[in-house]
Amino acid sequence: MKHLAFKRGALILAVLLFSSILLSACSSSDKEKEVTPSGEAVQEQVELRLGYYSSAQTDAKMQELVKKFQDSHPNIKVKTESSPYGQFFQKLDTQIAAGNAPDVWLSDGVLVPKYAERGALKDLTDLIGKDLKHDEYYGLDFNKDTNGKYWGVPQGIQIGVLYYNKDMFDAAKVAYPTTDWTWDDLKAAAEKLTLDSNGKYATDAAFDGKKVKEYGLTFFSITEGWMPVLKSFGGGVLDPTLQKSIINSPENKKALDWIVDGMNRHLFPTPADLKSFQSNMAPFPSKAAAMRIGIYARTMDANNAGLNYDVTLLPKGPDGKRFSPVIANSWVINKKAENQVGDAAWEWVKFWATTDEAQKEWASLGEAVPVKKSVANSEQFLNGKPANKQAFLDSFEFAGTLDVNAVWSEWVGKFNESINRAFQGEIPADQALSTADKDVQQVLNEFYKK
């Protein structure tokens, strides 16, 4: 009974380790030569292990594409391994530990450096240089590290724009957002759109901030929260080396003040307010927020909810600077995949990136912006809801990653810890920034300065 406590942690680990060791023992014969009845070796037959996270819907589409790939590459036999997002990455870590990870897998864009910098991925710089034309793609550079090396090829791109609910704007008699908006314009509109349960807008003296029914803007964590604001105000979190915090800057202070003010006035939900929704993503599709900073995948929720909405560019900062957050979910290749298996893995990545058909099929799910420019700019992608899908493509001009590095989830955790306290009004903005600066730098030092 006494050892139950650590059994939990250690046991989970041990079970995973042992089961992956067993698995690896069973799969040592990956490569087999296909031999015809006459005994002649016709073509080198390769088995490729392909891993990806998926939902029921995306899984069916992926299987379809795998079948098409096999038809055009008869010598490659693809074995797929898929599970829901969280489980996929938990399993992946233990698979890598046991030397038994898939040959090629789909990585969340923010996790590519985690695997790359810990030595689990194959450097794709040369292959990309040889086989892919830079100009034809959106976002190859989003996987480039500070040394100019490429670690993945985007599978689909998430890029942030401003979503707005036209019905709610009409009801409040507010003009729709334009591409000229600054964040202050947004806040002025948000004030007119924030409604309490007594039917009073935030511009009204009788407005009750404790009982907000509809928020002007919903604001969630990093991608759909502080990162675009910080960066368009001229601030940010890490310097270009991605090893040094630049959190404690006057620009960030201004940006944070802008956010905290919006929360104090109850125009945006605080992190605690957000908890009253079943999901952090719920306020916009459930019509409890008139605007959101949202990535492309959010069109699915909004469409499913039947909202009358559209999208436009994110607002400009005080100096006219814009920033649109990007996550390039990417195919990455296992460092251990060599020779024929490595070639087969690259064939799959190439098939995905270069084949118009594959790109179009995937785009039809409406889950990500296609990587190939020709497909992204086609009518097939641009038609449908929201009307102004062009805004997603226009945003590439001022798009950037989320300062992603090997310890990204950890520093984001530390950063959120501090600034969420400022959002809740517990500590002033500058204290939040100096604490976050110290904590984040410590996380960076522990990993990089050794």
Partner 1 sequence: MGNTELAPTEVKNPVRRRRKRLNSDGKWGLLMVAPYLVHFIVFVLGSLIASLYFSFSEYDILNPPKWTGLDNYTKLFNEPIFWKALGNTLYFAVLFVPLQTILALILASALNQKLRGLKLFRLAHFLPVISSWTVILYVSDAFFNTRFGLANDFLTRMGLDPQTWLQDPQLVIPLLVLIAVWKGIGYIMVIFLAGLQNVPSDVYEAAEIDGAGTFRKFLNITVPLISGTTFLVVVLSTISTFQAFEQIYVMTGGAQDATAAGGPNNSSLVLMIYLYREGFSFMRMGYASAIAWVLFVLLFILTIVQVTLQKKWVHYE
Binding site for partner 1 (CB under 8 A): 1-11, 13-15, 17-18, 86, 90, 93-94, 96-97, 114-115, 118-120, 210-211, 221, 271-273, 275-277, 279-280, 407, 409-410, 412-413, 416-417, 420-421, 424, 426
Contact partners, residue 432, CB within 8 Å, separation at least 6: 256, 418, 419, 421, 422
Closer by beta carbon to partner 1, 85 or else 176: 85
Region of 403 please: left (phi>0), alpha (psi -120 to 50) or beta.
Answer: left
Q: How many Å apart are CA 264 and CA 425, to the nearest integer?
A: 7
Q: Residue for token digits 């805004």?
A: 391
Contact partners, residue 358, CB within 8 Å, separation at least 6: 65, 68, 69, 351, 352
- The nearest distance, CB 25 to partner 1, in angstroms, is 15
- The nearest distance, CB 163 to partner 1, in angstroms, is 20
- The nearest distance, CB 248 to partner 1, in angstroms, is 20
Which H or E run includes 105?
Answer: strand 104-107
Cα 345 → chain centroid: 23
- The nearest distance, CB 136 to partner 1, in angstroms, is 33
Closer by beta carbon to partner 1, 119 or else 306: 119
- The nearest distance, CB 76 to partner 1, in angstroms, is 27
Closer by beta carbon to partner 1, 271 or else 294: 271
- The nearest distance, CB 407 to partner 1, in angstroms, is 8
Closer by beta carbon to partner 1, 94 or else 158: 94
Our CA dihedral for 239, 244, 248, 250, rounded to 10 degrees, sits at: -20
Closer by beta carbon to partner 1, 55 or else 374: 55
Q: Which of 336, 334, 351, 330 is nearest to 76 (CA)?
A: 351
Closer by beta carbon to partner 1, 214 or else 347: 214
Contact 370, 359 (CB under 8 A): yes
- The nearest distance, CB 161 to partner 1, in angstroms, is 22
Angle at CA 260, nearest 5°, toward 284 and 403? 75
Closer by beta carbon to partner 1, 2 or else 173: 2
